[in-house]
């Protein structure tokens, strides 16, 4: 009640409390935004800048200048066309197989499973935990 009375009277203490409360969401977002900018936005711009550079004639290895040569992308695709096409084929095949397996399984779990629903859900979710544990073990062995 005292807070409501202070808000209605318009004291300066309440204005500072309300002002600090309005900054709270932004302060909570700050670490995530700093992480995003540091480890995603800056590297993306750096990679885009590096990918359009050209090595001058007669320059040493590692010396490049920015020419904004977007034909580098075409050159990379032409030079590695077989690998790109194979990758797209495997991606399309994996997508189609996942859809062919996932939709009937989801339908069966949702409508037809009855008393086996929990077991089927565990069978669907368990591989994700297994993969996560393998990734964690690999990270531990690499950086531990």
pLDDT surpasses 90 at 20 = no
pLDDT surpasses 90 at 78 = yes
- C-alpha separations of 48 from 6, 56, 74 in Å: 54, 19, 15
Chain Cα centroid distance, residue 67:
30
Give the separation between CA 49 and CA 43, rounded to whole angstroms.
Answer: 10
**Residue 3: what pLDDT?**
53
CB atoms within 10 A of CB 92: 10
As a whole number of Å, the end-to-end CA separation of the chain is 54
Token pair, residue 11, equals 């004291």
Reported pTM: 0.56
- C-alpha separations of 13 from 7, 19, 26 in Å: 9, 10, 21
**Residue 71: what pLDDT?**
96
Contact 53, 67 (CB under 8 A): yes
Chain Cα centroid distance, residue 42:
15
18 vs 122, higher pLDDT = 122
pLDDT surpasses 60 at 5 = no
pLDDT tens for each residue of 29-63: 999 999 999 999 999 999 999 999 999 999 999 99
């Amino acid at each position: 009640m005292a807070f409501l009375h202070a808000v209605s009277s318009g004291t300066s203490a309440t204005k500072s409390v309300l002002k600090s409360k309005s900054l709270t969401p932004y302060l909570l977002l700050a670490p995530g935004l700093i992480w995003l900018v540091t480890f995603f936005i800056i590297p993306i711009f750096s990679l885009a800048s590096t990918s359009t550079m050209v090595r001058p004639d007669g320059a040493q290895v590692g010396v490049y200048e920015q020419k904004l040569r977007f034909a580098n992308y075409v050159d990379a695709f032409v030079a590695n066309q077989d690998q790109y096409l194979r990758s797209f084929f495997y991606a399309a095949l994996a997508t189609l197989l996942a859809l062919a397996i996932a939709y009937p399984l989801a339908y069966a779990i949702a409508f037809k499973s009855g008393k086996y629903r929990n077991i089927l859900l565990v069978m669907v979710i368990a591989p994700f935990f297994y993969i996560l544990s393998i990734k964690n073990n690999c990270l531990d062995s690499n950086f531990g």
